[in-house]
Chains A and B, each alone.
Chain A
């Protein structure tokens, strides 16, 4: 009874524990990618905090900053899925090179939009 009560009362704690366990059990290379995704998401939060304080002017710069962080997080997540799935039909190094080229294109687009 007490166990079920704690599970229904604190579902967030279970979610955090699950993530922590998965992170601890992940290989080192996958951990690096997870840390980078966390850093990108934290940057998005900081940018939103600034925009909520002082406004979104200039709006194009705000969007460029947020999309750059979100895009790089998504690309890193895709690379993580490719590596951790175990069904990769190409070498890991080649997947990383494709990831690097995609990031370059993303940064070029965001810098064009930055203003």
Chain B
């Protein structure tokens, strides 16, 4: 009976282990399925993108036309072609573009598409912007979205037009006159490379006010205020201390040297002498080494830097210590004998 009970217990244990393992294996399989699905999804996304790729084969016929309002109609006043081969470099016109409240400037270009997009119907690039940035206040930026149409005669070619009016600029940057740097950007996620070109500047003059005065510039916003140059200020230096006359300082320098002179005189008068000095040579070496150490310290005070002084001072001090030790040893020997 005991054997049967033990066998039953073993069977229960093995059944319990099997259930645990089976749940972990099911977790593994579900996570594998999840990652497989994610990979397929990503592959589908990339495959879709690769299949619909296009390119800008050529950008041509870029020009800026100025229209003046007269008699209720816009009359072409000036046409300024832009060189497409500049390809990102700034382009300067021979005659400057001038926008007023009685005129408008139309920038147009033709985009020749290649790849799968050349035959795509109703294709419009996602980004087609003419950006006008004020040359002085860079935070004032106006953006004009271009109108896209298929070219009348050439297949696979788009015509994009950007119409710039002073009313449109006033909505975005306020009545801010001056030079605006112009840049055209045409881009799309399906393009292999985008088109981006600066073409000089457009001088903008807004309409006068009803009283005839020139419209004022908009006030500084938070970004401009924070990064605008701060007002100049003059440093206030501490006034130098009042120094005594040089003559007085020199007199007291001489006075402080007098105790040394007096010291010598009093020593000599009180009978001090060097007759008791034996082993003159080693004593001279020792006292000279001390004088050298003091001289090095004096030179450090005058002109030598500390890091240059310390090794020299260390060497001289070691020599002074050794010579002193030798001198003392000699004196002790002579006293013992």
Q: What residues of chain A have their CB less than 8 Å away from a CB belonging to chain B?
A: 28, 31-32, 35-36, 39-40, 42-43, 46-47, 49-50, 53-55, 57, 91, 93-94, 97, 100-101, 104, 107-108, 111-112, 114
Whether the pair B263, A36 counts as a contact (CB closer than 8 A) is: yes
Q: What's the nearest-Cβ distance from chain B to residue A17, in Å?
A: 19
Residues 135-176 of B contacting A (Cβ, < 8 Å): none
Closest to A31 in B: B270
Take A104-B290, A104-B294, A111-B300 as given contacts and tell me if A43 and B259 are in contact as well, using a CB distance cutoff of 8 Å.
yes
Of A32, A43, A54, which is within 8 A of B248 by CB?
A54
Interface centre among B260, B301, B317, B331 (most CB of A within 10 A): B301
Tell me whether B3 is interfacial, beta carbon within 8 Å: no
Q: Which residues of chain A come closer than 8 Å to B290, judged between CB atoms?
A: 100, 104
Q: Which residues of chain B come closer than 8 Å to A43, judged between CB atoms?
A: 256, 259
Q: Which residues of chain A come closer than 8 Å to B294, judged between CB atoms?
A: 104, 107
A114 to B297: give the CA distance in the assembly, Å. Answer: 11
Whether the pair A53, B271 counts as a contact (CB closer than 8 A) is: no
Whether the pair A111, B260 counts as a contact (CB closer than 8 A) is: no
Q: What are 11 A-B residue pairs whose CB atoms fall within 8 Å in the complex?
A: A28-B271, A31-B270, A47-B256, A49-B252, A50-B256, A91-B328, A91-B331, A97-B324, A111-B297, A111-B301, A114-B301
Closest to A47 in B: B256
Take A57-B243, A94-B328 as given contacts and tell me if A101 and B297 are in contact as well, using a CB distance cutoff of 8 Å.
no
Take A32-B267, A43-B259 as given contacts and tell me if A107 and B297 are in contact as well, using a CB distance cutoff of 8 Å.
yes
A36 to B272: give the CA distance in the assembly, Å. Answer: 13
Q: Which residues of chain B come closer than 8 Å to A108, judged between CB atoms?
A: 297, 313
Tell me whether B262 is interfacial, beta carbon within 8 Å: yes
Closest to B294 in A: A107
Take A28-B271, A43-B256 as given contacts and tell me if A93 and B298 are in contact as well, using a CB distance cutoff of 8 Å.
no
Whether the pair A46, B297 counts as a contact (CB closer than 8 A) is: no
Whether the pair A91, B272 counts as a contact (CB closer than 8 A) is: no
A40 to B272: give the CA distance in the assembly, Å. Answer: 18
Q: Which residues of chain A come closer than 8 Å to B260, judged between CB atoms?
A: 39
Whether the pair A35, B266 counts as a contact (CB closer than 8 A) is: yes
Of A32, A100, A104, which is within 8 A of B272 by CB?
A32
Chain B: interface residue count, which band?
Answer: 35 or more
Tell me whether B52 is interfacial, beta carbon within 8 Å: no
Q: Which residues of chain B come closer than 8 Å to A111, judged between CB atoms?
A: 297-298, 300-301
Interface centre among B259, B266, B313 (most CB of A within 10 A): B259
A43 to B321: give the CA distance in the assembly, Å. Answer: 29
7 more contacts with CB within 8 A, not counting A104-B294, A104-B320, are A31-B270, A46-B256, A46-B259, A54-B249, A55-B244, A91-B335, A93-B328
Tell me whether B234 is interfacial, beta carbon within 8 Å: no
Tell me whether B222 is interfacial, beta carbon within 8 Å: no
Q: Which residues of chain A come closer than 8 Å to B321, judged between CB atoms?
A: 101
**Per-residue contact bits, chain B 244-255, to A (CB 8 Å; 1 contact, 0 not):** 100011001001
A-B pairs with lowest CB-CB distance, top 3: A54-B244, A39-B259, A39-B263
Q: Which residues of chain A come closer than 8 Å to B293, judged between CB atoms?
A: 104
Tell me whether B50 is interfacial, beta carbon within 8 Å: no
Q: Which residues of chain B come closer than 8 Å to A54, judged between CB atoms?
A: 243-244, 248-249
Tell me whether B332 is interfacial, beta carbon within 8 Å: yes
Q: Which residues of chain A come closer than 8 Å to B266, judged between CB atoms?
A: 35
Whether the pair B256, A100 counts as a contact (CB closer than 8 A) is: no
Q: Which residues of chain B come closer than 8 Å to A97, judged between CB atoms?
A: 324-325, 328
Q: Which residues of chain A come closer than 8 Å to B306, judged between CB atoms?
A: 112
A28 to B260: give the CA distance in the assembly, Å. Answer: 19
Closest to B271 in A: A28
A46 to B252: give the CA distance in the assembly, Å. Answer: 8
Closest to B270 in A: A31
Q: Which residues of chain A come closer than 8 Å to B300, judged between CB atoms?
A: 111-112
Tell me whether B11 is interfacial, beta carbon within 8 Å: no
Q: Which residues of chain B come closer than 8 Å to A40, judged between CB atoms?
A: 259
Residues 259-284 of B contacting A (Cβ, < 8 Å): 259-260, 262-263, 266-267, 270-272
Q: What's the nearest-Cβ distance from chain A to residue B324, in Å?
A: 5
Q: What's the nearest-Cβ distance from chain A to residue B11, in Å?
A: 90
Q: Which residues of chain A come closer than 8 Å to B6, judged between CB atoms?
A: none
